[in-house]
Amino acid sequence: MIVEELVALVFDAKDLDAAAVLLHGDFVSHNPVIPHDPAERTARDAFLDFFRTPAGEALIHSESTVRRVIADGELVAVHSSLTRPDGVTVAIVDIFRLLDGLVVEHWDVVQPVPATPLNPHGMF
């Protein structure tokens, strides 16, 4: 599946050039921490450039584990855990929209995993 390949290329292989091939030319990321001025560069380039910043590199060098993948038509959600180099673990849900066999849109929700949860269910 294209989304699983994209996640693996970014977090396992750390190969942004190969990941770029999987992003549609009209790609848009809705992540508010990724700077993007459409007058200066494409959203695709802004997304990839983010992973070359210190914050993005910290993500790439984190321990990421896909817990589940849910697909519904053109939408694919990936629920994963990510442990950053500083030891903080977060739960992430990435939502991707596909078009023409490529990833054309991306949303994500990130939530810290509490050290002491208030229930026994866990986040994964």
Residue 49 pLDDT? 94
Residue 18 pLDDT? 94
Residue 1 pLDDT? 86
2-112: CATH class: alpha beta
pLDDT band, residue 111 (cuts 50/70/90): very high
Residue 51 neighbours by CB under 8 Å, 6+ apart: 10, 16, 57, 59, 60
pLDDT at 91 over 90: yes
pLDDT band, residue 16 (cuts 50/70/90): very high
Rounded CA-CA distance 60/65 in Å is 12
Averaged pLDDT score across all residues of the chain: 94
List the domain boundaries for the chain.
Answer: 2-112
